[in-house]
Amino acid sequence: MSDLRFKDLIEPVVLDQKTALRVTVLGGGSFGTAMANTAVRNGCDTMIWIRDEAIAAEINATHINKRYLPDFQLEAGLRAESNLEKAVRDRDIILVAIPSHSFRDVLRQIKPFISAQAVVSLTKGIEAKSFSFMSDIIREELPEVPYGVLSGPNLAKEIVAGQPAGTVIASDSELVRYAVQQALHSALFRVFGSDDVHGVELGGALKNIYAVAMGMAVAYKVGENTRSMILTRALAEMSRFAVKLGANPLTFLGLSGVGDLFATCNSPLSRNYQVGFALGSGKTLEQATKELGQTAEGINTIVQVNARAKELDVYMPITTALYEVIFEGAPPLNIAVSLMKNGHRSDVEFVLPHNEV
């Protein structure tokens, strides 16, 4: 399948305001539900695929996602579907909001039903062991499909509540970017475009590491000076690592970089922040993740990025210290100490000719 086939399918739809885009969201977690609800509000014919038939039926009957967003009434036009073929076949845009550990398997399941749909990842994570990004997995499993990634400071509860927010759709295809903007852009939810696919999804994945660190720091009641230093040095780590992998450093000045980092590191609504806070409060990783009841992508991302940073010889002291604290029993003070090492580094990455002395 090529972008031209998607063009033939989508152009008549996006040009004709009387014809609603057909959008399916795969995954009934908080963010997937928020995007599905946004698409309905924007006039799209929208379905959300949920594995459990009983939960799908409950959402259709009550218009409430009781597990992930129990305090919010969803749009009446949102339909939940447990049959994967019905959810995917003959749609325009497939938004995939599946945890990274199941992402590849779900793409393999939908492959027989893909004809000319665009597939867009909403997942902010990295596949364990392979170190594949979600865009890599889409290319591998659905090699001819037009694709993109959506990422930004998008806390689901705020979006469903109708608070103004913004996000970034990154794709090599201008048509995919335009179609996603048509589906989701509104007066309260602004969708910006980018062609730096890996940069945008790296921002979304990497910031989860530092949300865990910030949650731990808050549990230890650190001051505003320390929190500000964590944020800015986290941004330096993120951009340093991403540029090594070919991303544009300027991407990290946008919503998918510093915007998402700020929102996730400063909000108790963030799953990764919550796990970090629990760890900083003396709970084990098993206890913290069990109490959360949702996937905290940051824990897997710490493992993957720590290993890859060593392979690539990228200086990432916060990530390294977090790994040592969580998995090797090092004292939490190591994270603070890591920030104070190597004081001759440049304040802003890529500004001075030599970042490290």
What CA–CA distances, in Å, run from 353 to 110, 165, 233, 326? 48, 36, 18, 35
Indicate the annotated binding residues. 27-32, 51, 68, 124, 152, 156, 207, 260, 270-272, 297
Indicate the annotated binding residues for NADPH. 30-31, 51, 68, 124, 156, 271, 297
Specify whether 86 is catalytic. Answer: no
Q: Is the dihedral of CA 84, 87, 90, 94 positive or negative?
A: negative
Nearest by Cα to 254 from 171, 319, 166, 184: 166
Q: Which two tokens stand for residue 159?
A: 């979006």
Which one of 111, 129, 207, 341 is the catalytic residue? 207
**Pairing relationship of beta strands 93-96 and 22-26 according to DSSP bridges:** parallel
Residue 238 three-state SS: helix
Indicate the annotated binding residues for substrate. 124, 271-272
Q: Which two tokens stand for residue 260?
A: 């998402």
Q: Is the dihedral of CA 229, 230, 231, 233 positive or negative?
A: positive
Indicate the annotated binding residues for NAD(+). 27-32, 156, 271
Indicate the annotated binding residues for sn-glycerol 3-phosphate. 124, 152, 207, 260, 270-272
Distance CA 169, CA 93 (A): 13
Active-site amino acid positions: 207
